[in-house]
């Protein structure tokens, strides 16, 4: 299973334009719950390969995107459809909550 790639502030706008469904996991290296969500994001990326793009943003290194979306608690998983924010999931959630958030926008 592949590890989801981290993106930087400067890559975000292009991904938003290029991807019909974009899932972004806002995370940090020191965040315990984020480490629990990480394997679920890897599985989501594999399960939705070709249908949704899954990426991560390190909030400590990319404060611009985190501030833009008012991220105050992590993990926070945001789902975008055609460039618009359509779902926000904050905190630890079961895998099915992430899949249902993506499924309803496919």
CATH of the domain at 66: 3.40.30.10
In a domain, 4, yes or no: no
The pTM (predicted TM-score) of the whole model is 0.95
When pLDDT is averaged across residues 27-44 and rounded to a whole number, the result is 96
Q: What confidence tier does 2 reach under pLDDT thresholds 50, 70, 90?
A: low
Domain count, the chain: 1
Task: Report yes or no: 23 and 77 within 8 Å, Cβ to Cβ.
Answer: yes
User: What residues are labeled active site?
Assistant: 31, 34
Is residue 2 one of the residues assigned to a domain? Answer: no
Determine the structural domain holding residue 95 and report its residue range.
Answer: 9-103
Query: Could you tell me if residue 44 is inside a domain?
Result: yes
Bridge partners, 23 (sequence order): 54, 79
Residues 41-76: tens digit of each pLDDT: 999 999 999 999 999 999 999 999 999 999 999 999
Alpha carbon distance 71, 50 (integer Å) = 27
% residues pLDDT > 70 (the chain): 98
pLDDT, position 21: 97
């Amino acid at each position: 299973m592949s590890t989801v790639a981290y993106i930087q502030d400067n890559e975000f706008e292009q991904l938003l334009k290029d991807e019909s469904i974009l899932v972004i996991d806002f995370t940090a290296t020191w965040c315990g719950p984020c480490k629990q969500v990480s394997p679920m994001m890897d599985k989501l990326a594999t399960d939705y390969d070709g249908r949704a793009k899954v990426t991560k943003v390190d909030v400590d290194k990319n404060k611009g995107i985190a501030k833009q979306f008012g991220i105050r608690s992590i993990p926070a998983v945001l789902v975008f459809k055609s460039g618009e924010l359509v779902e926000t999931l904050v905190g630890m959630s079961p895998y099915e909550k992430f899949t249902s958030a993506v499924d309803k926008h496919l």
